Amino acid sequence: MKVAVIGSGQIATSRHIPAYTRSKQAEIKYIVDPILERAQAAAEQFGIPIATASLDDVLSDPEVTAVSVCTPNHTHAPVSIAALEAGKHVLCEKPAALSYAEALRMKEAADRTGNILNIGVVNRFNSAVNHVKQLIDAGELGKLYHVYCSFRAHRSIPGLGGPFTTKSMSGGGVLIDWGIHFLDLIFYCLGEDTKALSVSGAVHGELGRQMENYAFTSMWAGPPNYEGTYDVEDFAAGMIRTSGPSLTFNGAWAQNIAESAMYVEFLGDKGGIKLEYGGDFTLYTSRGGMLLETAATFSKVDAFDEEIEAFLSSAAGGVKNRANIDNTLTTAQVIDALYASSEQGKEIVL
């Protein structure tokens, strides 16, 4: 299968391109970037035949069956829709779009064209996450009544002054960047029957506001651009009521506590699970008057490799999988509502 990677930034060069290169199902024909020199550099690095600055080169090539959209957030919807309408299957990096309304337009385009549209919710292919889901589905936790997650870091605002911190390009800050991974992971584990009913949220953009005074030890997508924009949140907190358990969270790109806290806790009346994000998990139960603690050990797969393989299989067979946009709309709706709740200062009923 001939594929194209649209965008040659970090997520493309560190994840998508290497995964396609390792796959036996596909061969990358194009790398696309509006800055041709960047596309050419990626093409040379990975042995990709064609580097171009023109998206039309890909969309007009009937040999190209599928594309990965690895561009800035504000271009996800228009690029994905254009690719779908050109007859391509699409894997679009998260978030699907800047808003729930845009995500719905993307779904409509996929439905209308009959092409596959997957979103880069890579945790759905994580080994630990899938073991946790299996335990929940098997009833090992009993009645699941609450889920809590934390996605907090010390001072890790990415690309200060650039696309990550410019709301018109990113859609928001830590909530839409990191929070989307955690909330989608949770809704995936809870299952499709769990519906979000209402949300209440608050977001704050404090530490990065005076950009030149922002001290940090490292910066993803840096260095900082002090002439740029910072109009997003670096902290978020919220509560989500569902048809099943309640959910609470807090997250921070940057906080004045020098600790990272990246985990999800699933609380049931028979047992609980603490999942370290990107790592292992522990199961807590009781039996016969004893408190039991089980550290899970299992073989792991590369989640991005699994995501790409699943996408290619979906594209080849025309069958939707767990990362299809149909299965990710709840997260998009919830994040949209959390921002609205913070702005309006009230709970939003979905």
According to the model, what pLDDT value does residue 34 have?
Answer: 97
Cβ(153)–Cβ(260) below 8 Å:
yes
Tell me how far apart the alpha carbons of residues 65 and 169 are, in angstroms, rounded to a whole number: 28
Residue 217: the pLDDT is 87
* CB-CB contact of 318 with 1 (8 Å): no
Write down the pLDDT at residue 218. 87
The dihedrals phi and psi of 107, each to the nearest 5 degrees, come to -60, -40
10-36 exposure pattern, b = at least 16 Cβ within 10 A, e = fewer = ebbbebbbbbbeebeebebbbbbbeee
- pLDDT the model gives residue 163: 95
Q: Which two tokens stand for residue 326?
A: 């149909």
- pTM given for the model: 0.97
CA distances from 72 to 37, 113, 305, 318 (A): 18, 24, 22, 27
- Residue 168, burial from CB neighbour count under 10 angstroms (0-12, 13-18, 19+): exposed
Do residues 89 and 69 make contact, with C-beta atoms less than 8 angstroms apart? no
Domains and CATH numbers, the chain: 2-122+304-323 (3.40.50.720), 124-301+332-349 (3.30.360.10)
Closest CA to 107 of 307, 316, 329, 319: 329
Report which of 149, 258, 154 is spatially closest to residue 207, judged by C-alpha positions. Answer: 154
The pLDDT tens digits along the chain (350 residues) read: 999 999 999 999 999 999 999 999 999 999 999 999 999 999 999 999 999 999 999 999 999 999 999 999 999 999 999 999 999 999 999 999 999 999 999 999 999 999 999 999 999 999 999 999 999 999 999 999 999 999 999 999 999 999 999 999 999 999 999 999 999 999 999 999 999 999 999 999 999 999 999 999 889 999 999 999 999 999 999 999 999 999 999 999 999 999 999 999 999 999 999 999 999 999 999 999 999 999 999 999 999 999 999 999 999 999 999 999 999 999 999 999 999 999 999 999 99
Residue 88 pLDDT: 98
What are the structure tokens assigned to 118, written together?
């997957």
pLDDT value at residue 328: 97
